[in-house]
Amino acid sequence: MTTQQSKAWSVVIMSTLAFTVCFMAWMMFAVIGVPIKAQLGLNETEFGILIATPVLTGSLIRVPLGMWTDKFGGRIVFFILMLTTVLPIWMISWATEYWHFLVTGLFVGMAGGSFTVGIAYCARWFPKKQQGLAMGIFGAGNTGAAVTKLVAPIIVVGYGWTMVPKVYAVLMLVTAILFWFFTYSDPAHKVGKHVTIREQLAAFKDPRVWRYSQYYSIVFGGYVALALWMTKYYVSEYGFDLKTAAFLAAAFSIPGGMLRAIGGWFSDKFGAHTITWWVLWISLVCLFFLSYPQSSITIQTVTGPYTFHLGLNVTVFTVLLFTLGVVFAIGKASVFKYISDDYPHNIGVISGVVGLAGGLGGFLMPIMFGALVDLTGIRSSAFMLMFGVVWVSLMWMYWTEVRPMDAARELKRMKRADLME
């Protein structure tokens, strides 16, 4: 007879595999979008809309998916969700017009909602002290973005970009079947029938949820946006071909997924607040340097004008991008540790709301990246935008968490001193 612990780990392993495949499909346009852009003659803003379209539906659907997961259980919701994406993924291979890609991309984007389902489904199989690790392991499915960057270019070079959605559709169908046979349901994990939709949606009134949403809009939304944008960035900024550019972009995507489990362990050990605080500060430093555009500066010296170049070479750029991927991975786990600590009985809905904010960040930022490049002509303006978002998150965290915690510690110290007197 299968024990509860073995069921729990089977659920985590299969959910992580399923989420990886869903994320591969969700990030598909990061690679096939480059030849599509050339084929259709798109500008940067149109390209940004193309790659971001799947992210929109993957974000908007997260709240209802979280509610359904709480009500009906993660297994059935996850299974049906994967099945509904198979046909739209295949249909991308038939698209010839810009609007074809946008419409099919909206339906493929539902795969991105799998995160909200899986995070709540996995967390409920573990005690509170292990939930950060369990959610971190599941979140490692973000590595699907890196898998797409490694696999899809090979398919594109060998068989053309239309083969990628066909392969992914078959992979999604096979994964859905395997998921159903190797996962389990537990009626105790569902919320009671007495819980109404109004009570579930009350999360939108909680200021803490909005604060966590802001954090997640950068550590996840920024991750999705850069995962979509970096292949094109390497092609445009450094002149690499598609295969090499996608390989280098994977330096950001791989740690952004793989190290999420470590972020969950750190969050269990040191607390969500401490980890998130340091994640935001390190992100700010990395983005400061990534924001600096390629520049030539001329100085008038006593011997005449002297011109020198300032800018990141590809090695330094990739190292900074890798570091950013590492801290984003840890931050994604720490934000959800906040949720499992504060909302143990409402994880599905809260993760849906926070995931919605993160997904919308991943949708809006690539479009804004493209618009900024079209308006300014500066490719590093994408990192300038993200630097501003991180700064806002840090300020919000300082005034709502750090200052109150310092005040509480000072009050406790004064009471202790009074007691000693």
267-282: pLDDT as tens digits: 888 888 889 899 999 9
Lowest-confidence region among 31-35, 163-167, 222-226, 414-418: 414-418
- Those residues whose C-beta lies under 8 Å from the C-beta of residue 23, and which sit 6 or more positions away, are 111, 112, 114, 141, 142, 143, 144, 145, 148, 257
Query: CA-to-CA distance for 421 and 416, rounded, in angstroms?
Result: 9
pTM beyond 0.85, yes or no: no
3-class DSSP state for residue 297? strand
Q: Which two tokens stand for residue 369?
A: 């990246």
Q: If you search the block for the tokens 């899986």, which residue do you land on? A: 118
Query: CA-to-CA distance for 44 and 41, rounded, in angstroms?
Result: 10
Over pLDDT 90: what percentage of the chain? 29
The pLDDT of residue 257 is 65
* Contact criterion met (CB below 8 Å) for 291 and 387: yes
Query: CA-to-CA distance for 77 and 87, rounded, in angstroms?
Result: 18
Q: How many CA atoms lie within 13 A of 374 on its CB side?
A: 13
Beta partners for residue 309, in sequence order:
296
Q: In the chain, how long is the greatest CA-to-CA distance?
A: 86
Mean of per-residue pLDDT scores for the chain: 85
Q: Which two tokens stand for residue 254?
A: 């791989």
Q: How many CA atoms lie within 13 A of 313 on its CB side?
A: 2
* Contact criterion met (CB below 8 Å) for 335 and 215: yes
* Contact criterion met (CB below 8 Å) for 227 and 27: yes
How large is the average pLDDT for residues 79-97? 94
Residue type, 52: A
- Those residues whose C-beta lies under 8 Å from the C-beta of residue 162, and which sit 6 or more positions away, are 93
Q: Is 361's pLDDT higher than 80?
A: yes
Q: Is 38's pLDDT higher than 70?
A: yes
Q: Is 1's pLDDT higher than 80?
A: no
CA dihedral 96, 101, 102, 107 (to 10 degrees): 130
3-class DSSP state for residue 313? coil
The pLDDT of residue 108 is 93
Q: Which two tokens stand for residue 114?
A: 């799998």
CATH (one of 2.40.30.10, 1.10.3720.10, 1.20.1250.20, 3.30.70.600) for 4-191+210-411: 1.20.1250.20
Q: Is 395's pLDDT higher than 70?
A: yes
Eight-state DSSP code of residue 291: T
Select the more confidently predicted residue: 104 or 140: 104
Select the more confidently predicted residue: 308 or 319: 319
How large is the average pLDDT for residues 125-135? 78
Q: Is 262's pLDDT higher than 70?
A: yes
Domain boundaries, the chain: 4-191+210-411
Query: CA-to-CA distance for 348 and 301, rounded, in angstroms?
Result: 64
- Residue of 186, 191, 81 whose CA lies nearest to 125: 186
The pLDDT of residue 136 is 77
Q: Which two tokens stand for residue 52?
A: 């971001």
* Contact criterion met (CB below 8 Å) for 249 and 231: yes
- Those residues whose C-beta lies under 8 Å from the C-beta of residue 295, and which sit 6 or more positions away, are 309, 310, 311
Q: Is 164's pLDDT higher than 60?
A: yes
- Which of the four pLDDT bands, split at 50, 70 and 90, describes residue 89? very high
* Contact criterion met (CB below 8 Å) for 81 and 117: yes
DSSP H or E run through 299: strand 295-301
Q: In three state form, how does the secondary structure of 172-213 look?
A: HHHHHHHHHHCCCCCHHHCCCCCCCHHHHHHHHHCHHHHHHH
pLDDT digits (tens, 9 = 90+) for 165-217: 999 999 999 999 999 999 988 777 666 555 556 665 666 677 888 888 888 88
Query: CA-to-CA distance for 226 and 240, rounded, in angstroms?
Result: 17
DSSP H or E run through 61: none
* Contact criterion met (CB below 8 Å) for 275 and 331: yes
